[in-house]
């Protein structure tokens, strides 16, 4: 379902060209569970950003569900992000002034889903992530593990086909980290394609397929 053909992404730092991604070719099938590993600066985040349509490659083609999404307009790329892709970040990125429930509902709110349906879906997701009585708490009233669960809830509420998780356990203690990974793996068992960037070898090896990266190149 995901196909990358000769993707390159270079950054200009001063006079130097840095290869964030260098001739990356990749095939990912529906429902795969992949971990991406590699040293710092090897291009893992850049890869996820390109896959998530947050960043534009300088060269190459990206096919998602058979359509060439590199060619899409800004508006259509936004639609693809909204409908097909879920993001989980190392630093959670919750909106501090909104409650957990409002944070989770945010993608639906932005998409214009009506109130009642939104509330229903938020309740369902809160329940499945055992956050039921945390809905009205603000992010600063939650633990790190709870925050990341809220962030995952926000990512799954739109029923995406791909989940991109960039070091989701990076800011968590071991126990909360395991908990978060378990949730992500459950989602994968229910059919979502999961791409997980991690530095933790033990966590990385739980994936069905491991992609190693080095200097912007991919070694499967």
Ligand X SMILES: Nc1ncnc2c1ncn2[C@@H]1O[C@H](COP(=O)(O)OP(=O)(O)OP(=O)(O)O)[C@@H](O)[C@H]1O
Stretch that binds another protein, among 34-42, 61-69, 111-119, 212-220 (CB under 8 A): 111-119
Q: Which of 89, 135, 196, 203 binds another protein (CB under 8 A)?
A: 89
Give whole-number Cα distances, 123 to 22, 115, 136, 148, in Å.
Answer: 43, 12, 11, 17
Is the CB of 107 or the CB of 216 nearer to another protein? 107
Is the CB of 38 or the CB of 135 nearer to ligand X? 38
Of another protein, ligand X, Mg ion, none, which one sits near residue 206, judging by CB under 5 to 8 A according to partner kind?
none
Q: What is the per-residue DSSP string for 170-214?
A: TTS-HHHHHHHHHHHHHHHHTT-EEEEE-S-HHHHTTSSEEEEEE
Q: What does the per-residue mask of binding to Mg ion show for 35-54, with x meaning CB under 5 A?
A: ----------x---------
Tell me: does residue 83 bind another protein (CB under 8 A): yes
User: Which has the closest alpha carbon to 184: 157, 153, 214?
Assistant: 153
Binding site for ligand X (CB under 6 A): 11, 13, 18, 20, 38, 40-46
């Amino acid at each position: 379902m995901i196909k990358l053909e000769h993707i390159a992404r270079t950054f200009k730092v001063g006079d130097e060209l840095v290869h964030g991604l260098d001739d990356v070719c990749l095939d990912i099938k529906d429902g795969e569970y992949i971990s991406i590993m590699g040293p710092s600066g090897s291009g893992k985040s850049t890869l996820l950003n390109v896959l998530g349509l947050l960043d534009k490659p300088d060269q190459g083609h990206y096919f998602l569900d058979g359509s060439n999404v590199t060619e899409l307009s800004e508006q259509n790329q936004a639609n693809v992000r909204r409908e097909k892709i879920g993001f989980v970040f190392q630093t959670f990125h919750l909106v501090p002034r909104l409650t957990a429930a409002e944070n989770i509902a945010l993608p639906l709110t932005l998409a214009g889903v009506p109130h009642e349906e939104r509330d229903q879906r938020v309740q369902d997701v809160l329940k499945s992530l055992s956050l039921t009585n945390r809905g009205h708490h603000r992010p600063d009233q939650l633990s790190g593990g709870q925050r990341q669960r809220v962030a995952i809830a926000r990512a799954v509420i739109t029923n995406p086909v791909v989940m991109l998780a960039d070091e989701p356990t990076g800011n968590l203690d071991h126990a909360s980290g395991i908990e978060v990974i378990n949730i992500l793996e459950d989602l994968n068992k229910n059919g979502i394609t999961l791409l997980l960037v991690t530095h933790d070898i033990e966590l990385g090896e739980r994936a069905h397929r491991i992609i190693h990266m080095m200097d912007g190149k991919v070694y499967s």
